[in-house]
């Protein structure tokens, strides 16, 4: 069997955090050895709701690339793609726009939720409403058959599949029909106990946080709100400190012991948190070191990005040519 082709990506609106790590980065690092992986820094998509301050997007393109390299994505195995540098994606988007109805777009639950959150009211930018179509172009341009994403992205993959089927039906078999792969931890609770770690909620531990930043955030973490004294029996289930211990503390026996003590009121929150801060810092240390190495070698990162773009344009260019041929507009004037 030939290798899978995988495409996935992130909007560069801030540095990546532990939620990104457990939700997708870890999986990508694993997959890079067995599949052909493209990771997209989706700056064009990020601009659809940040067009008033493009510097928020442009300043984060390199940061996200550094996060990718820091967690161990290996540029010899993975192609890092800066979306705005691949005009072929924009061209594909234009052709796909004919295949999608306005009604279908406005029903997309993820887009609908975002429109509410961002308070666009009746002034929804066309670019925002149509970003799922450009996401279909991202995926098909690279002929991806698998797209690892969080659950909120399922409507995008569904739309991509509709576009592919319609295109192939109208113009002949051309595009690859992709499948979503949902990661097992698609979201990580925030340090405040809210459902999802996110930069905009201010409850994230970033991969680039220093030792003392991690300590500060962990010591303030939300635990069991009903527990007042360290001698009160505490609740382990749903307690963010234990959720993180389960993920980041490699010493399972220690975690088991702490849970037992917590349930019977024999360990305080402070001790639990100190231990967690140490574990997260141990986990982040190699990531920090690698990040620093790449930060100091700007030329190397530039080269990685340049080569990624070059490879991506080649692949997307082939797809675009096939698309134009199928549509009969590859004129040879
Ligand atoms: N929409 C994704 C997000 O907000 C980012 C993204 C852009 C993406 N293009 C993609 C994800 C293609 C998977 C495939 O996180």
Residue 11 Cα to ligand 1 midpoint, Å, equals 7
CA distance 7 to 308: 13
91 closest CA partner among 128, 137, 132, 47: 137
What residues line ligand 1, using a CB cutoff of 6 Å? 7-11, 40, 42, 45, 135, 138-139, 147, 149, 153
Strand partners, 9: 40
Please give the Cα distance from 289 to 296 (Å, whole number).
Answer: 11
* Distance from Cα 279 to the centre of ligand 1, integer Å: 30
209 sits in the region (left: phi over 0; alpha: psi -120 to 50; else beta) called: beta
Measured CA distances, 177 to 174, 266, 321 (Å)? 10, 55, 18
Q: Which of 8, 23, 9, 49 is nearest to 197 (CA)?
A: 23
Average pLDDT over residues 186-196: 89
Q: Which two tokens stand for residue 143?
A: 């002929």
Mean per-residue pLDDT over the chain, rounded: 95
Take atom 8 of ligand 1 and give the residue whose Cα is closest: 9
Cα 8 to averaged position of ligand 1 atoms, centre (Å): 6
What is the tens place of the pLDDT at every residue in 64-112?
Answer: 999 999 999 999 999 999 999 999 999 999 999 999 999 999 999 999 9
Each residue's pLDDT tens digit, 9-62: 999 999 999 999 998 899 999 999 999 999 999 999 999 999 999 999 999 999
pLDDT tens digits for range 261-318: 999 999 999 999 999 999 999 999 999 999 999 999 999 999 999 999 999 999 999 9
pLDDT computed for residue 183 by the predictor: 77
Residue with tokens 């192609």: 79
CB atoms within 10 A of CB 297: 12
77 within 8 A of 307, measured Cβ to Cβ: no
Find the 238 Cα to ligand 1 centroid distance in Å. 29
Confidence of residue 1 (pLDDT cuts 50, 70, 90): low
User: CB–CB of 20/60 below 8 Å?
Assistant: no
Distance 93 CA to ligand 1 centre (A): 15
Query: Which residue's alpha carbon is at the smallest distance from atom 5 of ligand 1?
Result: 10
Q: Say how many Å lie between the first and final Cα of the chain, rounded.
A: 40
Tokens encoding 106 = 């406005």
């Amino acid at each position: 069997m030939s290798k899978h082709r995988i495409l996935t990506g992130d909007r560069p609106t801030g540095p990546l955090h532990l939620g990104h790590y457990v939700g997708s980065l870890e999986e990508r690092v694993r997959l890079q050895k067995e599949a052909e992986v493209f990771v997209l820094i989706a700056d064009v998509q990020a601009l659809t709701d940040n067009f008033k301050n493009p510097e928020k997007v442009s300043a984060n393109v390199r940061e996200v690339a550094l996060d990718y390299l820091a967690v161990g994505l290996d540029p010899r195995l993975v192609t890092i793609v800066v979306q705005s540098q691949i005009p072929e994606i924009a061209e594909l988007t234009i052709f796909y726009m004919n295949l999608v109805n306005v009604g279908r777009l406005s029903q997309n639950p993820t887009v609908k939720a975002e429109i509410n959150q961002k308070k666009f009211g009746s002034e929804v930018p066309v670019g925002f409403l149509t970003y799922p179509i450009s996401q279909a172009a991202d995926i098909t341009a690279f002929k991806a058959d698998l797209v690892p994403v969080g659950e909120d992205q399922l409507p995008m993959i569904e739309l991509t599949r509709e576009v592919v089927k319609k295109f192939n039906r109208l113009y002949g078999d051309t595009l690859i029909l992709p499948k979503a792969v949902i990661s097992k931890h698609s979201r990580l609770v925030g340090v405040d106990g809210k459902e999802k770690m996110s930069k905009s909620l201010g409850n994230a531990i970033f991969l680039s946080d220093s030792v003392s930043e991690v300590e500060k955030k962990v010591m303030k973490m939300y635990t069991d709100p009903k527990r007042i004294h360290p001698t009160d029996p505490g609740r382990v289930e749903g307690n963010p400190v234990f959720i993180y211990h389960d993920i980041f503390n490699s010493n399972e026996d220690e975690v088991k012991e702490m849970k037992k003590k917590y349930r019977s009121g024999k360990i305080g929150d402070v001790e639990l948190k100190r231990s967690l801060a140490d574990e997260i810092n141990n986990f982040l240390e190699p990531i920090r070191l690698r990040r620093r190495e790449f930060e100091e070698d700007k030329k190397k990162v530039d080269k990685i990005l340049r080569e990624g773009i070059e490879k991506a344009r080649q692949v997307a260019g082939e797809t675009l040519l096939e698309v134009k041929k199928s549509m009969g507009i590859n004129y040879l004037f």
